[in-house]
Structure 1
Amino acid sequence: MRQRILSLRQQGETLNRWLNIRMKTILPELMERAELDMWIVIARENNEDQILSTLIPAPALSARRRTILVFSRNEDGTIERLNLGPAGSEMDLVYNSIRQNKQDDQWLFLRNVVKKRNPKTIGVNISETFAGADGLSSTDHKNLLDALKGLDVNVISAEKVAVGWLEQRIPEELEAYHVINRIAHDIIAEAFSSKVIVPGQTTTLDVVWWIRQRIHDLGLRAWFQPTVDVQRQGEEKPLFDTVIRGGDLLHCDVGLHYLGLSTDTQQLAYVRRPGEEEAPSEFEEALAEGNKLQDITANEFITGRTGNEILANALEEACQAGLKARVYTHPIGFHGHGSGPTIGLYEKQDKVAGAGEYPLYSNTCYALELNVVTYLTKWQQEITIPLEQTVAFSAGEVKYLGGRQSKLHLV
C-alpha cells in the first residue's frame, strides 16, 4: 500500500502539473460558460477562501498576508493568470506575479489592473447555495467594491465558475482517483480482518482508532473521524461502542485525502461464528440488493439532469424493483462534501432546494451514498445495508473508482 504513495516532493510536482493543465483546459471553458470576463479570488492568511488551496501551487500552503488572484479572459478565450504579489515565490510556477513593489497599495494596484483590462463582468466568490463558492470575506468584499468604485464594471457571483472548478476533473485526476480509492479500500479490508479484530475482545472504537492511525502512518489525512458500528441480532439500532462478537454485521464509514482528492467509503463485514467459513447467504443477498440500488441510481446519471431529477427517478425505479431504499449522494473531489448537484439527503428524500437543482456535468465525481433495508429471516428482523463508493461520471457513464464492494469482508 505504501509503495502507491508518492513522496511529498513527487506529490507537489504532480499537483502543480495538474494545476497548470486545469488552468489551460477547464478554466477557459468555465469562464465562457458563465459569461465572466474576470474572476477575482481574494484571501487573507488565517482566513483563507476554501477555494484558494485548489488554486495555489505546491509548496505554498496558505495565503501570504493578503493573496489576490486575477483571472482575465482574453479575446481568444485564453486566460491571463495574475498574482498581485511580487515575483520570486512558488506562485510563479502558475501565475504572472506583477506587483513588484511590496509597498504599493494593493487595492489601488488591483483597480489599475482591472481598469487596464476593462472587463464588463467580474465574478467573486459569494454564493448562498454552495459553501465552496462563498469564501470571500465581508471585509474583502467591501474593500474590493470600494477599490472598483466609479469603474464601468458589474461585480457578480462567480458561483458557476467556482463550482465548476471544484467539481470538474481532468483525465489525469480521474486516473489517479482509482489508485486513491484502492488505498482506501485496502485500509478497510485490513481493518475488517483478523489482523485487527479478535471477536470477543476488540471494540468498535479500537477499529476506529486503528483506521485513523493507519491513515496517519501512511502520510495521508482523514477528512473526518472514521466510524465503525455493529448491527446485531436482537438490537433495534446499530451499536457504535461495543465489543465485536461472532455473528455481527460490521459497517464502517471512512474518508481520506491524498493528492488533493477526497474519498468517502462505506463497506460491510460479517464476523464469523466458530465453524462458519462464509457469511450466511442472506447477508450476501442483502448486499446484492445494495448493489442493485447502486446500479439503479447510477443509471439515472444523465448530463443536464438535476440532482432532484436523478433522486426522484432512482427512488421510483427502486420502489418498482421492490427495494426499501434511501439515496443521499453528494459531490466529492477537492472536498469530501463537495460542490455540485446534491442527490438527496438522508433526512430529505423528496427534493433538495438549491444544490438539488444544480445540473449534472461530465467529468465530475460523487460519493454514491445510499442504503436499502431488508428483512433477515435468520435474525427475524430488518437490517440496513449502507453503502458508499466514490464514482466518476464521464463519457455518459458512471465508473466505480477503484471498484466497489460486491462481497462482504469476512472476519
Structure 2
Amino acid sequence: MSLVAPDPLRTVPLPLREQAGVRDRWLTERLLDVLPGLMDRTGIDLWIVVGREYNEDPVLATFLPATWLSARRRTILVLHRSDDGVTAAAVSRYPVGQFVPAWTPGASSGSDTQWAEVRRFVEQAAPERIGVDVSEHFGLADGLSHTEHRLLTEALGPWAERLVSAERLAIGWLETRLPEEIAVLHQLNRLVHDVVDQAFSAEIVTVGETTALDVAWWIRQRLHDLGVEPWFQPSVLLQRAGVPLLEEQGALLPAVPFDAVVEPGDLLHCDVGLSCLGLRTDNQRNAYVLRPGETAAPEGLRAAMRAANRLQELTLEALVPGRTGNEVLAAARVAAAAEGIDGEIYSHPIGYHGHGAGPAIGQWDEQSGVPGAGDYPVHPDTAYALELAVRRPVPEWDGQCVRLGLEEGIAVTGDGVEFLGGRQTEFVLIG
C-alpha cells in the first residue's frame, strides 16, 4: 500500500475508508493463507470464538470487519479445518464480514437456537479437537468468559469432551504478520521517529520554559492531528547532572519531576506508541539539550548509547526462531555480561496489541525469565518491540549513573531480523 507524504513528515495513514478496505483485505488473506497452517501446527481442527457486545474475546475483535467497532449481541465464530482449507462461519444474528452465515434466526429466535446451531455445526464437522480461548499464561488467549464457556459446554453435550485450550492457536493467529503488514509497520515506525524528532527540537522545546510534560502532551496532540491515536499516554522523562537516579521497587529510575522545566545539559527520554490499521508501534528515543558551547552530547552519554546499541545487537543475535523467550533472554544476558554491559532486557511482541501475543523476552522485574509466557517459542513472520535499558556512570556528571532506555520495532522473518523504520544510534540534539 502507499501512504501519502505531507511536509514535514514522510508518512501519514490512509483515509479511514481506505484503511477499512485494507484491513478487510488483510483479514481475507490471513484466513486463506495463515490460519490453515496455524491450525495444522497446533492440531486443532475446529476453533470456536465467542464474545458478547462490549465484552469481546481479544481474538474475536481481530476477526470482525473493519466497520464493526465491537461485537453485535452474542457473536459466535466457528472455524473448521478441512482438506479444502478453513471454513469460516458465523453463528450470529447479523452477517459478519467474510464469514459464511450459519444461522438464520427467526423473529423470536433466542440464544437457545443459536447454541443449537453451534451443536449442529460441530456434529457435522465431527472434529477431534475443538479449540476454545482459555489460557493460564496469556490474557490475550483467555477471552472465553465463564458464562460463554458454560453455555457452550452445555450446548455441545458429549462433544464437550473434545474441548481443548486454543492457547497456541490464538497466540499464533495474533502474532503472525503478513509481509504487507510488516511493510506498513516500517512506515508507522518511521512516522513515530519523525514526530519525536520534531518534538525534540527547538521548534517545540524552549529551554528554560518548556516542561517534560508539555512535550509529552505535544506528542499526543500531534499524533491525534495526524490521525494515528496513541495506545498509551506518551511520556517524557528527564535526567540531569546532580539529580541521581532514584530506587523504586528495586529499579533505578529518573528522579527529576515530570513537570520540571527543561534545562541545558538535560537528557530527555520519551516512550511513544501509536495505533493505525489495527497495528501498534512502541518506541523509546533520547535527546540531549546542548549547553552553551557544546556541539554534541558528552562522551559519557554517547558511550551509554553505544552500550545500549550493543545490547540491542546481542539480543538480536539471540533472537532465533525456535528458541523460547526465556532462552533468548538468557543467551543475551550471558553475552552482555561477557562484555561488561549492565542493563535489563524486557522486549515484547507487538502487532494487534501493544504488549502483544507471543513470547515474553524478560520483564524489567523478571530478568531470570518469565514463567509461562517466556516459555513460548519465537516464530518467523512476527514483530517485536526490542525494549531494553543500560546503566552507566557518566564521567562528565561526576560519575553519576544514567539509565538509558531504547525501544525499537523489529520484524523476524525468514530472511532474519530487521529494524522497522531504522533505529537510534545518536542523540537527538536540542539547542
Shorter-chain TM-score bucket reads over 0.9
Q: Deviations over 1:27-47 (max 9, x none)?
A: 001111111110000000011
Question: What stretches of structure 1 of length at least 5 have no aligned partner?
Answer: none
Matched, 1:403 2:414: no
1:354: how far off? 0.3
Alpha-carbon RMSD across the aligned residues, in angstroms, is 1.4
Q: What is the aligned counterpart of 1:179 among 180, 184, 187? A: 187
Q: For 2:279 and 2:222, locate their aligned partners in 1 and report how far apart those are by CA, in whole Å.
A: 18
Question: What's the counterpart of residue 262 of structure 1?
Answer: 280
Question: What's the counterpart of residue 216 of structure 2?
Answer: 208
Matches within 5 A, 1:157-306: 157-237=165-245, 238=254, 239=256, 240-306=258-324
When residues 21 and 191 of structure 1 are mapped into structure 2, their CA distance, relative to the original with a 3 A threshold, is: same
Question: What's the counterpart of residue 98 of structure 1?
Answer: 102
Q: What is the aligned counterpart of 2:91 among 62, 80, 84? A: 84
TM-score, normalization: structure 2? 0.92
TM-score, normalization: structure 1? 0.96
Question: What's the counterpart of residue 314 of structure 1?
Answer: 332
Please state whether the residue corresponding to 1:326 is helix, strand or coil.
strand
* 1:341 maps to amino acid: P
1:281: how far off? 2.9
Q: For 1:5 and 1:235, locate their aligned partners in 2 and report how far apart those are by CA, in whole Å.
A: 41
* 2:271 maps to amino acid: D
Please state whether the residue corresponding to 1:83 is helix, strand or coil.
strand
Instruction: Kindly report structure 1 stretches of 4+ aligned residues shifted beyond 3 Å.
Output: none
When residues 15 and 208 of structure 1 are mapped into structure 2, their CA distance, relative to the original with a 3 A threshold, is: same
* 1:329 maps to amino acid: S
Question: What's the counterpart of residue 337 of structure 1?
Answer: 355
1:364: how far off? 0.8
* 1:97 maps to amino acid: P
When residues 166 and 300 of structure 1 are mapped into structure 2, their CA distance, relative to the original with a 3 A threshold, is: same
Q: Please say if residues 124 and 156 of structure 1, whose CA atoms lie closer than 8 Å, have aligned partners that are also in contact.
A: yes
Question: What's the counterpart of residue 4 of structure 2?
Answer: none
Q: Deviations over 1:300-357 (max 9, x none)?
A: 0111101111111101111111111211111111000011111111011111100111
Q: Please say if residues 48 and 78 of structure 2, whose CA atoms lie closer than 8 Å, have aligned partners that are also in contact.
A: yes
Q: For 2:326 and 2:224, locate their aligned partners in 1 and report how far apart those are by CA, in whole Å.
A: 37
* Percent identity between the two aligned chains: 46
Question: What's the counterpart of residue 371 of structure 1?
Answer: 389
1:51: how far off? 1.5
Q: For 2:361 and 2:345, locate their aligned partners in 1 and report how far apart those are by CA, in whole Å.
A: 7
Please state whether the residue corresponding to 1:151 is helix, strand or coil.
helix
1:4: how far off? 2.7
Matched, 1:60 2:63: no
Question: What's the counterpart of residue 11 of structure 1?
Answer: 19
Q: Please say if residues 319 and 325 of structure 1, whose CA atoms lie closer than 8 Å, have aligned partners that are also in contact.
A: no
Please state whether the residue corresponding to 1:71 is helix, strand or coil.
strand
1:217: how far off? 1.2
1:184: how far off? 1.0
* 2:99 maps to amino acid: Y
Q: For 2:58 and 2:185, locate their aligned partners in 1 and report how far apart those are by CA, in whole Å.
A: 21
Q: What is the aligned counterpart of 1:325 among 343, 354, 375? A: 343
1:2: how far off? 7.7
1:244: how far off? 0.5
1:396: how far off? 5.1
Q: What is the aligned counterpart of 2:57 among 37, 49, 61? A: 49
Matched, 1:354 2:358: no
* 1:224 maps to amino acid: F
* 1:51 maps to amino acid: V
Q: Please say if residues 362 and 394 of structure 1, whose CA atoms lie closer than 8 Å, have aligned partners that are also in contact.
A: yes
Q: Please say if residues 325 and 359 of structure 2, whose CA atoms lie closer than 8 Å, have aligned partners that are also in contact.
A: yes
Q: Please say if residues 167 and 338 of structure 1, whose CA atoms lie closer than 8 Å, have aligned partners that are also in contact.
A: yes
Question: What's the counterpart of residue 383 of structure 1?
Answer: 402
Q: Please say if residues 303 and 396 of structure 1, whose CA atoms lie closer than 8 Å, have aligned partners that are also in contact.
A: no
- State the aligned residue count: 407
Matched, 1:111 2:119: yes
1:249: how far off? 0.5
Question: What stretches of structure 2 of length at least 5 have no aligned partner?
Answer: 1-8, 246-253
* 1:10 maps to amino acid: E
1:3: how far off? 5.4
Could you tell which deviates more after superposition, 139-148 or 393-402?
393-402
